[in-house]
Amino acid sequence: MKIAAISRIRCLPPGVVSLAGVFSLTLIADSRSAYADPVSELASFSIFDKVDLAQLAKSDVKTAHGPPMKNSRFLAVQSCYVAPGSPAQQKEALSQWNPTKYRELKVFLHSDLPSNPKPANFEKLKNAPDNASVRSFVAATQKLSPELQISKEEAKRFSSASAGGGGGVIPPAVVAFWTDVLTARTKSFVSGGMAAQPPYDHAGPSIRASDEVNGLLREQGKIRQQFSGLLGATGIGRGGGSLPADLYWELLDANDHGVVTLGASYSRGGTAGTYQTADVLYYASGGYYVALTLHQLWPVTVDGKPSTLVWRGDMISSSELGSLHGVERLGSESVMMKNITKAVTLFRREGR
Amino acid sequence: MKVFALRSVVLVLAALVFATSPAFSEDNNGSFWPLSGEFSAEATYVGEGSAERGGKRVSDFDEIDSDILLVLTPRTKFGVLRLGAEWQRYSFGFPDQTALPNTLQSFSTMIGLDMQLSDSIIVRAEGQPGLYDSGLGHLDWDDFNLPFFVGGTYIFSPSVQLILGVSVDVERKYPVIPAAGLRWKIGPQWLLNAVLPTPRLEYEMNRYLSLYVGATMKEASYRVDEDFGNSHGISRLNNAIMTYSEVRTGAGFDWKISPIVTFTGEVGYQPYRDFDFYRAEVRYHQDGGAPYGTISLHGAF
């Protein structure tokens, strides 16, 4: 976990920016005042305009759908909760979280990646579990399904890979193909961020993950502003960025279909113990174009104990979401909220 | 770092009790907000069947149904509004002097709201105020009715949803009808959509074509003309309310011909049909089923 702790005020609520001079004097007088009111800061950029900290500390995670967005492919959910311990501890716990431990989260494989990945870093693919999702993933690859999210160039490389055969849940030829795709995409992310990612244009209109994530952020202006300092230093939606990323890949389930995905995580400390994190799934072989999770962590005191107020924003772009309307979309939002609640609950349980 | 990002895309086609069946369009990058909606245009032909009342048999009559629906579904702070209109017409080929109307027709508006009560519960409340009669010849305020329903979907998981609801129509023989349903995505290609009024078992051949077997259940109340009884030899049927019910069972396909238009074809058998002037105690029940065929264009935008 690489943390660049930056002791500058980065996440001021918009309304306080104009009072920066007064604010800094207050900081000198009482360091707690810089974020003495994290609830107000939370209200300034999130959907949670009224949060009772004491009540939240005693309750489960609070989840709500984000504001409606013009692009029908986009969906966002926000959540907040109070966790015991400091933001630094929470951030560390987040970094240690292993979703593969929980079957219900349907993450089959997870592996960290170095900044210069080799094919050996994707060897775990050979050990994929035998289930319907993985078989669906294999079948889609072998027939080069139009639903595969790859570029035309990558699709060309597939034809030679598909000539092979062999046993195993994922045949060697399929492993080799995806190893090639994932290695190349990781390298391009390291060198040029999301902007360098090849488009998804194998069997449809060209979609760029960087455009999608920028669109998601553009439609949530307050969140983009809140996280502008962090995001500006990353490869999320842009070039390489100055902040080092923790890279990983996963094999997971998306709507009953296996999907390989590439992710990058960033985090950065703010003044007096606050933290922000950003986790982007910048490539997926299907199911969604891009997914972004942001965290804002504030130190708070609840019942005399050091705790952390956590805001989490999940946003996703998916072609399948574009096909949903009315109550179907409400249903999808509900399921997304439910899944996030489940994941957060498991995470919090682990921390106790 | 293993920050648990959104690990699985979470799509559920939540169905509500008595909901219409919007098509699944694709990837319209346009604005779902604020103008989105559903539309449907459907025609059904039911072959020659029979009905019977107290030994009097009505034989060899056919039926043509037409249904046109448009609902706008703008998103608001409170949920998804449902504002629209529907025209529905049943046309029967009864022999002369049959004490049944040749036409049953409704022209109604739709006013409803889908609300997200929690991350597990979505509720729909919808009314369909309109004129429910036996043709446009004698429109009267007596023809006005306001059937409505309230239903809720409990999202147990992305694969399983439970549906409960109640339909209310004060003019119907049974004014309050509760209903329950289940939507279960059995596997990547199989879906059990056991939700009224169109319970189905669906198999997705590919992203454009699905096959299904299932049923369609319809029940509504209509008021006949003021002189209907006099002209058909049963005076107590003047201005009477009739509840019409039918059940169809069949197999069909959904073919997505464009991102917002789906074509559906269905054939099957109609095993149940009932014409019930329940207040006047005149009831014709099915005496012989009939084959039917349905085509429709429907979708969502």
* Residue-wise pLDDT tens digits, B88-122: 999 999 988 789 999 999 999 999 999 988 888 99
Q: How many CB atoms neighbour CB B165 within 10 A?
A: 23
pLDDT at A160: 53
Interface of A with B in 239-278 (CB under 8 A): 246, 248, 250, 252-257, 263, 265-267, 277
Task: Establish if B30 belongs to a structural domain.
Answer: no
Q: pLDDT tens-digit profile of A29-49?
A: 333 334 458 999 999 999 998
Residue type, B237: L
Cβ-count burial of A352 within 10 angstroms (0-12 exposed, 13-18 middle, 19+ buried)? exposed
In chain A, what residues touch B207 (CB-CB under 8 Å)? 146-147
The model's confidence at residue A271, banded by pLDDT at 50, 70 and 90, is confident
Task: Establish if B187 belongs to a structural domain.
Answer: yes
Tell me the CATH number of domain A37-112+209-351, given options 3.40.50.10860, 3.40.50.300, 3.30.530.20, 1.10.357.10.
3.30.530.20
Interface of A with B in 131-190 (CB under 8 A): 132-133, 136, 146-147
- Asked if the model's pLDDT at residue A330 lies above 90, the reply is no
Task: Establish if B31 belongs to a structural domain.
Answer: no
Interface of A with B in 80-109 (CB under 8 A): 94-99, 105-107
Instruction: Give the mean model confidence (pLDDT) for residues A48-73.
Output: 89
Domain span at residue B240 reads 37-300
What's the pTM value of the predicted model, to 2 decimals?
Answer: 0.79
Q: Which residues are A263's β-sheet partners?
A: A248, A281
d(CA B113, CA B78): 8
Task: Establish if B247 belongs to a structural domain.
Answer: yes
**Residue A201 per-residue DSSP state:** -
- Which CATH number covers residue B203? 2.40.160.40
The model's confidence at residue A229, banded by pLDDT at 50, 70 and 90, is very high
- Axis crossing angle, helix A172-192 with helix A152-161, rounded to the nearest 10: 150
Cα distances from A318 to residues A71, B40, B149, B258, in angstroms, run 10, 26, 33, 18
pLDDT at B139: 66
Query: CB A327 to CB B75 under 8 A?
Result: no
- Asked if the model's pLDDT at residue A219 lies above 70, the reply is yes
pLDDT at A210: 95
Q: Which residues are A283's β-sheet partners?
A: A262
Total count of domains within chain B:
1
